[in-house]
Structure 1
Amino acid sequence: MKYQRTILLLAACAAVGACNIPDTTMENGAITMKDGIVSLHPEGNPDASINESGQLQIGDKVVTVNAAQRGLLMLYYQSVLDVNQTGKEMGRVGAKMGGEALKNKIEGKSDAQQNADAQHGGDQMKVLSQKMCQDRANIKTVQDQLSTQLAEFKPYGNIITQDSVASCQDNTKP
């Protein structure tokens, strides 16, 4: 009975905690994705949003863009979506690892088997981490192109820095 109350409490906390949380948050909240909209929150500038069709809105104003700029905005959106999807996959792998570890402990599996299962999950996480770094590098590439081709985007062109991309890649090296 004690376990049922604990599980119910944890489920309630998770449900309450999930309210109004962005799907993706990057660069200390400077890039978020929620309800299918990518929002940019640079310090000292108005917020901007990009939807999947490549529409850019800065503050209350929709920015007029040409076909090439719209294509870049769509690539930016897709790259943020890729980070979101990779993050979700990492969450699934992490949850599976936790469930597997608990199951192994309950079933009394050997330390060697537990370590092998943990290693397998760790290898999957490493691959996903490398993919996420590549996704971030893709955002940086498109961000740089947008900054040079769309004057209104220039204040948003330093959200992801080369240093943050390099740091991400350094953290995933063997």
Structure 2
Amino acid sequence: MLKRGFQWLVLSWTLLVLMACHSKTEAGLLLTMRVDQPALASGQVIIVSELVNQAGQSITFLPWNTPFDSAVTGDFLSVTQAGSDNARSPYIGMMVKRMAPTDSDYLTLAHQQSIENRLDITRAYAFCRNQHYVVDILNKNILQNNSSHDLELVPVKFDAGDAFPVCD
């Protein structure tokens, strides 16, 4: 119980520091990502992402190939193994070719509005037992009607435990 309270305290302070740093930038979008720890303990890598619009205007973006898509349908994450010359884990997931997006495919966030999504990346990248991983986004721009908004993000770090397969 005490450990969980300490984790919340650390997370709260981290978020406050990020928000304070963010207020000095013009990024407009703050993305926080974390790994679902109970899922990780059972051998699944589920990324929980929250996007907050801190720009002074509404922002519209296409969630395809972002942490806000309904499934991983392409290689949009950088998954690296720490300590192995930061070699990227290969993308082994499905690749989807889609038709041109329609207006209903886009998401709009008003100023100070946020969204959260859970995305299972377990079958999209190769994860090995007892390895340390860093997950980042390859493209840190989210497009809005031909203009881009920089994304402020701290990469996610985690250890794959005994529930993951042994790799050579």
Fold in common (TM above 0.5): no
TM-score of the pair, normalised by structure 1: 0.28
Q: Which has the higher contact order (CA 8 A, sep 6+)?
A: 2
- Structure with bigger helix share is 1
Q: Higher strand fraction: Structure 1 or Structure 2?
A: 2
TM-score normalized with structure 2 length: 0.29
